[in-house]
Amino acid sequence: MNYEISTAQTDEFLDVAALDRIAWPNMNDTFIPDGEHIWRVWCDHATLLVAKVTDREPFSETHEVAGALVMFPSQNGELFLHKIMVHPVCRGKGVGTALMKTALSGAKVPVLLTVDPDNAPAVALYEQFGFRSRERIDGYYRPHEDRLIMEFLPATAS
């Protein structure tokens, strides 16, 4: 599978929204996908990277969205990595890694993300990219949804 990473274009927001609904098929009872309207806003005003397949496999059309990453500025002058997702048929092919490396390589300020503190594989993966724990917040989203806030400090951050 060949793919290219680029900044999403305005006309790709529906493809990214569709990917968001299928990226976590086993979490339908706890996962709330973002609506099409917010993907349009992020297409226009945030960092929205897409990985597009450039050959016919595994999709039937070229330039199908295989993955996406969105991050946006916070009020504290940092970036918040809101979501990274890879189409189920494209997992294990380096798409997520390429999206993450592209996003972090362009960061000039700290990048934050949240993760379930009990999800040890995800925490370990983020640590491999250079993220470190900043703080744990119990009940971050809802009473039963605790989060670990992790941060990546780029070499250019002061």
Q: E strands, the chain, where?
A: 3-7, 47-53, 65-73, 79-86, 111-115, 132-137, 147-152
Mean pLDDT across 46-58: 85
Tally of residues, the chain: 158
Give the residue extent of every domain in the chain.
1-71+83-106, 108-158
Under the banding of pLDDT at 50, 70 and 90, the label for residue 142 is confident
Q: What superfamily in CATH does domain 1-71+83-106 come from?
A: Gcn5-related N-acetyltransferase (GNAT) (3.40.630.30)
Residues 65-121 have pLDDT tens digits of: 999 999 999 999 999 999 999 999 898 999 999 999 999 998 999 999 999 999 999
What is the band of 63 on the pLDDT scale with cuts at 50, 70, 90? low
pTM of the model: 0.87
